[in-house]
Structure 1
Amino acid sequence: MTFKLKLELASGQSLKGAPLELLADGKPIAKAVVDEHGHVAFDAKAGVAGLAVRVDRSILRSAC
């Protein structure tokens, strides 16, 4: 099954290249990267679960 999303930030900033994870009941089940148009697609097995998407925080830099 493929889950397709379009991400738009209110600030107008791009998420191009951002690694995302699809979570099922809090556990990662798929990974994908945002394209230049804000689109992302996850391939995952069909099932019943609470789904969420999170940004892979390894892309964030420390301000120290």
Structure 2
Amino acid sequence: MTIKLKLELASGQSLEGAPLELLSKGVPIARGVVDKQGGVTFEVKSAKTELAVRVDRSVLKTG
């Protein structure tokens, strides 16, 4: 199954290059990197569970 997301921050900061993890029950099941347009694609096996996305916020620049 392909899961596509588009991310936009209210601050207007870009997430380009940010590593993301797709989680199932708190366990990473797929990884992706945000592209120039804010999109990320995850390839996963079909799952009947709640999913969450975790962003490594340490890559975000402040200022």
TM-score band w.r.t. shorter chain: 0.7 to 0.9
Structure 1: 5+ residue runs without aligned partners? none
RMSD: 1.3
TM-score (norm 1): 0.86
Higher Rg of the two aligned structures: 1
Instruction: Return the TM-score normalized by structure 2.
Output: 0.87
Deviations along 1:1-25, one digit per CA (max 9) or x if unpaired, are: 0100000000000000000000011
Tell me the number of residue pairs that the alignment of Structure 1 and Structure 2 aligns.
59
Instruction: Spell out structure 1 runs of 4+ moving beyond 2 A.
Output: none
Q: Which runs of 5+ in 2 are unaligned?
A: none
Amino acid at match of 2:48: V
